[in-house]
């Protein structure tokens, strides 16, 4: 029932874009991300430092500050719910070629190997064909080991270290 209330309120986060504005897929996705974040914040009345967005790669980040471990699962459940209420913007305007998808795949495998070399317990990636097909037909995300690391919520395997030492390749860097 709590989530139903947030869903009804979510319509208040629609953001009007002037008709004269040049709006790319990235702009629309970033607006959607702000709606998701506001929805998740409202569900738990959580502080603004729990959620944020990185406009450069259209990602949403979540952090559970010290002393809030008891709400870790609730924060993620709220985010999952709000992503359903505000689905990703289809990306049919910026297609990626097979060559670009292959380059992204290689960078993703290198980053995954970096994580393994540092001792992070991540799953084995799907096949090359599966990842390339995923990259060429959004929404993406068939294999993203940084989420696995975050879900561990294990101080020995810090997501901050994973991101700093083995940054995730940005798909947009391969498009163009």
Domain enclosing residue 35, as ranges = 2-85
- Residue 1 in this model has a pLDDT that exceeds 70: no
DSSP-assigned letter for residue 3: H
Same domain, 46 and 70: yes
Same domain, 109 and 147: yes
End-of-domain residue from the set 58, 85, 112: 85
pLDDT digits (tens, 9 = 90+) for 77-131: 888 899 899 888 776 555 678 888 899 999 999 999 999 999 999 999 999 999 8
CA end-to-end distance (rounded Å), the chain: 44
The reply to whether the predicted model has a pTM over 0.75 is no
| pLDDT value at residue 116 | 95
User: Is the Cα dihedral 20, 22, 28, 31 positive or negative?
Assistant: negative
pLDDT digits (tens, 9 = 90+) for 22-54: 456 777 788 888 999 999 889 888 877 788 888
Same domain, 102 and 165: yes
Q: Is 91 within a domain?
A: no
Indicate the number of domains in the chain. Answer: 2
Same domain, 106 and 166: yes
Q: Is 110 within a domain?
A: yes
């Amino acid at each position: 029932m709590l989530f139903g209330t947030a869903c009804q309120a979510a319509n208040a986060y629609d953001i009007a874009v002037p008709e004269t504005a040049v709006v790319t897929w990235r702009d629309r996705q970033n607006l959607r991300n702000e709606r998701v974040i506001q929805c998740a914040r409202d569900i738990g009345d959580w502080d603004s430092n729990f959620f944020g967005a990185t406009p450069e790669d259209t990602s949403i980040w979540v952090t559970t500050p010290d002393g809030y471990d008891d709400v870790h699962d609730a924060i993620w459940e709220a985010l999952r719910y709000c992503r359903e209420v505000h689905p990703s913007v289809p990306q049919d305007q910026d297609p990626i070629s097979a060559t670009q998808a292959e380059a992204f795949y290689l960078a993703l495998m290198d980053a995954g190997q970096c994580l393994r070399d540092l001792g992070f317990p991540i799953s084995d990636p799907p096949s090359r064909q599966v990842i390339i097909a995923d990259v060429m037909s959004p929404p993406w995300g068939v294999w993203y080991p940084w989420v696995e690391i975050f879900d561990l919520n294990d101080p020995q395997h810090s997501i901050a270290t994973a991101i700093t030492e083995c940054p995730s390749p940005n798909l947009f860097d391969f498009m163009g």
